[in-house]
């Protein structure tokens, strides 16, 4: 294939990072230039291999339709309802744009900004990523549980969001056992152990939500019977 010999049953890893930074396709590929896409017919839905942030083919990211709808809505809402400034007299050129590798690529240092409007009195900086994630999680949880699963300033919300980020980082972290299948039984990086801990905590949160809903329904039934009597 293209001059290379691919052995039978070989596991092939595609370097999507390098594909998206090909200097023969993108001018100054390492610079943050959103305007570069204004004159391009290339989209991100897996049809053009120059830009496949969600993957392509049968294994394309199932969250693409949700992201395509929610990101624009969240960003537009934040920009429309608030004016923003960086905390501690920071200038945009001094921001740390370092990235952390994981299943999803995110900033190594979270973006924090101060919203200000007539009803915003505290002036405290907030984590933009956490605020957006809170809104997206609530949109999903309302479809399944009819409740808001996350609140920006609640301990439970922080625990759930931190757990969500840990799971995505774990899923995207290179595992030596993927390259040497004989090591899967040994699990030298303790991936299975950490994964069991993450999912145990996640199921515990879901069990708590379900129990809370059941107790609420039982309470409503008791009140309804008392009212009828």
Binding-site annotation: residue ranges for heme: 61
Question: Scanning the structure block, which residue is given the tokens 């931190």?
Answer: 162
Cα gap 105→94, rounded to integer Å: 21
Cα gap 192→95, rounded to integer Å: 36
The tokens for 168 are: 């995505």
Q: Is 91 helix (H, G, I), strand (E, B) or coil?
A: coil
Cα gap 45→23, rounded to integer Å: 21
> Which residues are documented as binding site?
61
Q: Compute the C-alpha angle 95/125/149, nearest 5°.
A: 110
């Amino acid at each position: 294939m293209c001059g290379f010999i691919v052995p039978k049953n070989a596991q092939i890893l595609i370097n999507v990072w390098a594909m998206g930074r090909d200097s023969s396709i993108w001018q100054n590929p390492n610079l943050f230039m959103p305007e570069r896409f204004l004159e391009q017919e290339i989209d991100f839905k897996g049809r053009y291999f120059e830009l496949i942030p969600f993957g392509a083919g049968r294994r394309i990211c199932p969250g693409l339709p949700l992201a395509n709808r929610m990101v624009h809505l969240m960003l537009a809402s934040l920009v429309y309802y608030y004016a923003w400034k960086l905390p501690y007299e920071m200038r945009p050129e001094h921001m740390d744009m370092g990235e952390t590798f994981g299943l999803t690529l995110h900033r190594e240092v979270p973006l924090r900004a101060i919203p200000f409007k007539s009803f915003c009195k505290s002036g405290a900086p907030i984590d933009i990523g956490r605020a957006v994630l809170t809104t997206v999680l609530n949109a999903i949880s309302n479809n399944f549980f009819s409740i808001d699963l996350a609140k920006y300033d609640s301990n439970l919300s922080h625990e759930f969001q931190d757990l969500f980020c840990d799971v995505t980082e774990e899923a995207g972290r290179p595992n030596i056992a993927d390259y040497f299948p004989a090591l899967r039984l040994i699990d030298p990086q303790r991936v299975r152990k950490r994964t069991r801990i993450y999912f145990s905590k996640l199921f515990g949160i879901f069990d708590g939500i379900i129990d809370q809903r059941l107790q609420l329904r039982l309470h409503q039934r008791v009140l309804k019977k008392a009212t009828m009597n």
